Structure formats: C-alpha cells, structure tokens
Structure 1
Amino acid sequence: MNLPRIIEAFFDADTRNDPDALVAAFSRNGSVTDEGVVHQGSDAVRIWWRAAKDKYHHVAVPVEVASAGDKLRVRATVTGRFPGSPAVLNYTFTIANGEIAGLEIG
C-alpha cells in the first residue's frame, strides 16, 4: 500500500505509542473529529489521542487507501478493548502543506 509519508508517520507514531511524533504529523491548528467530537490544535489532539489510547488500548493497521480531491481515506483494521473489536474504521485525512490539517474517524 502506498501511503503519503505524513500518513505513514501518523500510523507509525500511533503504533509506537509516541504522542510527540503523532502530534508532529498535524499542522499547529490541525483537528481530529472522533466519536462526533472535534479536537482542534496540538494540545487538543494530544489530549484526544492519550484519552483514546487509555480507554481502548487500540492498534490501527491500514488496509486500503483511496483519494478524492484534497481528502485521503484510509480504511484500517482497529483492534483494542472495545465491543466489536476488531473493527474496520475510515480515517479521512485532509493534507495541507505536507501536514495533516484534519482527520475524521468513523
């Protein structure tokens, strides 16, 4: 699978449980929308990621990628401590200037 370097950096940081590397993949004002809640800015993204890891102990493995305009959708198998694990989720990234400007998970 051919993922852009910044998307590879996101999933690699997530797998390695490295919040600094994960936040570094986002623009300063980047956002994550997960479970219907928007987390905007570096501090909010870090807090969201740590809370999700603490709650679900999840690992996401990309299995498919598709692009549409300025969006890149990655389907990933997510395994963790949650009902229905493993689940396939869509990670829809918006990339701007080589950074993640937005991420929607659903």
Structure 2
Amino acid sequence: MTYTIRPLCNGECKVNGCYAYYQGDRDSRRVFPLTVWLIEGKPHPIQVDAGLGDVGRMNRDAGHVLVEPIVQEPEQEIRAQLSRFGYRPEDIGNVTLKLLDFDHMD
C-alpha cells in the first residue's frame, strides 16, 4: 500500500525561546508554522492533529506563551487546506493527536 504524507500549514505562532526549547533564551523569539499532517491512502485519509479551531480563543488562552497573536490566513484553515486535495472534513477516516497542546487539538 502506498501513502502520501502532506504537511498542511494551519497558521503561525511566535513564542519566547524559553517556551520553544529546553533552557531556551527568554529574550529570543522563535516563529513556528502550526502544521497538521494529511496522510493519503486507503481506505480513508488520516489527519494528524486537529489543528487550530477558534484562533481568537487560542490567542486569549495562550497569551502567556505567545509573543504575538497566532496568525491564520483564511487559506490556512483546515477546511481550505483539505479542499486543496479534494477532501472535506467528513472524508477523514481518523484524526490522531500527537499531544494535547492547544495548537494540536482544538
């Protein structure tokens, strides 16, 4: 069986280095793409991480970590990302969460 793994950029966040890396520098800033993974294969595609939901709520709840608000363009929303490859959310057979951080499970 053949699988295709596609990274879907779901937004971007900027955090202090101390949140990004063990013993990171509090004064440094790191920009991270918020990535969801689409795994195409039979019988149904798999999505790794649920991705961003309510970005406004996430910006409020994670304000202690964020240097700047999370940025998510309309074309980065999950529905838009999936539709680029011909899928709708209901086509996904399984959603697997890597961890329970706010940017992975909303």
TM-score (norm 2): 0.25
- Select the structure with the greater relative contact order (CA < 8 A; seq sep ≥ 6): 2
Would you tell me which structure has more helix in proportion to its own residues?
A: 1
Would you tell me which structure has more strand in proportion to its own residues?
A: 1
